[in-house]
Amino acid sequence: MKNKYSLLAYFSNIFLFLSLNMSAQTGESWQAPRETVEKLSKSGSEFNYYEEKVPAYTLPDVLANSSGQKITTSKEWTKIRRQEVLELFGENVFGRVPSTSYTKTFAVVNEDKNAMGGSATLKQVDITIQSEGKSLVIHLILFIPNNALKPVPAFLLINLGSRTIDPTRKEKNEWWPAEEIVARGYAAAAFSNSDVDPDNFDDFKNGIHGLLDRGVRPPNAWGTISAWAWGASRCMDYLETDKDINKKKVAVVGHSRGGKTALWAGAQDLRFSIVISNESGCGGAALARRRYGETVARINTAFPHWFCSNYKKYSDNENAMPVDMHMLLALIAPRALYVDCADEDLWGDPKGSYLSLYNALPVFQLLKASSGIPVTMPPLNKQVISGKVAFHIRDGAHNLLLKDWNWFMDFADQVWK
């Protein structure tokens, strides 16, 4: 009996394997793998992974201003609507940076012209922020290819404190493939989010909040993601001063919570020429109104420090949000935007992330930055590029891998050519 069942399971697995591979080969649009849906539904039953259970929703019109008038020219977008959307995200989602004054200094604390076996110059830069006798240091690590024509374009990774970005390169990983980035003629830069603000809830006493917040925090005060995004901009401040770096060609890259950060950094800071959001999910690229995988309520409970307090108003109340995440993506236009997802990472809602990108397109089109992408998702591991917009869904789990980086760099090759 047992054998009969295992034989059955064996053949059904072979069938599943063949059909999955065939669909990849025949170029079928990606769909959430049924077995992943079932598995996740069993383990986290209060969250939805079934496409058929996604509630009906209407997205706010990214191209209608606050009084409902249609935006029809690039000038109207840039002068009126872009500003409105930015304000809405500052007020309701990520929170606003306080206007406290501070000083900032850059110090190259280590330089090695013979790094990576001679192929790169390593610079370790301390970015010190001071305010009223307190200070904080962001440690920027930068590898500049020695054989490339200067100034070179750069990729700035918002590293998650728990991962290694080893300047000695004794410890290497796909997460930050600095050697591969350098080999393609790009500078590899990285800083850790924890330098700017530790990733825990302590009522905003530590990190940059402890330095720059004064008095009672209003409900629109910046959360931790906003603080990390601010940190990415301080790294950009340094990169702008480095003669080896082409300041017009800097990409900001982040994974997951770092991907949400990259989007908010890129939305506010027009100096980032490419914004790359790797599996950013809820509060990142994924449409909140779909309530697929992680929800606003869940993220606000599990990570009460990531967003501003106003965002809590939308826990289990997504339809009341004056924005959805397609509007965050639209803020990147007409600069370049890369959104990607992973096949097993349904928690981050790949389809909702793609639809978000799709619904941001009218702005990219208005600004002549893209001619459009199809409404249906591409097959697994198939990159889609249309002008300044790119997307892929990679096989495997929630992570940032060399495979992803190679696609990012292929896109950058086109955008920066």
Residue ranges binding ligand GTR (CB under 6 A): 256-257, 281-282, 294, 299
Pick between residue 121 and residue 192 the one whose CB is nearest to ligand GTR: 192
Strands 103-115 and 336-342: unpaired
**Residue with Cβ nearer ligand GTR (262 or 369):** 262
Q: How many other C-beta atoms lie within 10 A of the C-beta of residue 14?
A: 10
Nearest distance in Å: CB 306, ligand GTR: 8
| Catalytic residue flag (residue 256) | yes
Residue with smaller CB distance to ligand GTR, 262 or 331: 262
User: What is d(CA 413, CA 417) in angstroms, rounded to the nearest whole number?
Assistant: 5
Q: Which is nearer to ligand GTR, 211 or 262 (CB)?
A: 262
In order of 156, 176, 381, 392, the CA distances from 179 in angstroms are 14, 9, 23, 23
Nearest to 396 by CA among 357, 352, 350: 350
Helix segments in 77-198, DSSP class H: 82-89, 178-183, 193-196
Distance CA 339, CA 171 (A): 28
3-state secondary structure of 373: coil
Give the shortest CB-348-to-ligand GTR separation in angstroms: 7
Q: Helices 224-241 and 257-268 meet at what angle, rounded to 10? A: 60
CA distance 137 to 127: 5
**Residue 148 vs 288, nearer CB to ligand GTR:** 288
Amino acid of residue 407: W
Nearer of residues 120 and 282 to ligand GTR, judged by Cβ: 282
Closest CA to 263 of 317, 315, 155, 338: 338
Give me the least distance between CB of 244 and ligand GTR, in Å please. Answer: 31
Burial category of 283 from C-beta neighbours within 10 Å (exposed 0-12, middle 13-18, buried 19 and up): buried
Q: Is 32:51 a contact under the CB 8 Å cutoff?
A: yes
Rg (CA), the chain: 22
Q: What is the closest distance, in whole angstroms, from the C-beta atom of residue 281 to ligand GTR in the complex?
A: 5
411, with CB counted inside 10 A (0-12, 13-18, 19+), is buried
**Is residue 398 annotated as a catalytic residue, yes or no?**
yes
Residue 257 or 394: the one with the smaller Cβ distance to ligand GTR is 257
Nearest alpha carbon to residue 283 among 315, 325, 316:
325
Smallest gap from Cβ 242 to ligand GTR, in A, equals 29
- Looking at 23, 74, 386, 398, which residue is catalytic? 398
> Of these residues, 226, 256, 273, 356, which one is catalytic?
256
**Cβ of residue 286: shortest distance to ligand GTR, in angstroms?**
9
- How far is 58 from 287, CA to CA, in rounded Å? 11
Give 231 or 379: the residue with its C-beta nearer to ligand GTR: 231
Tokens of 411: 């896109």
Please, what is the minimum distance in Å from the beta carbon of residue 278 to ligand GTR? 10
The contacts of residue 106 (CB under 8 Å, 6+ apart) are 125, 126, 127, 237, 238, 241
**Which residues lie across from 126 on neighbouring strands?**
107, 139
Token pair listed for 270: 């027009």
Minimum gap (Å) between residue 282 Cβ and ligand GTR: 5
Catalytic residues: 256, 398
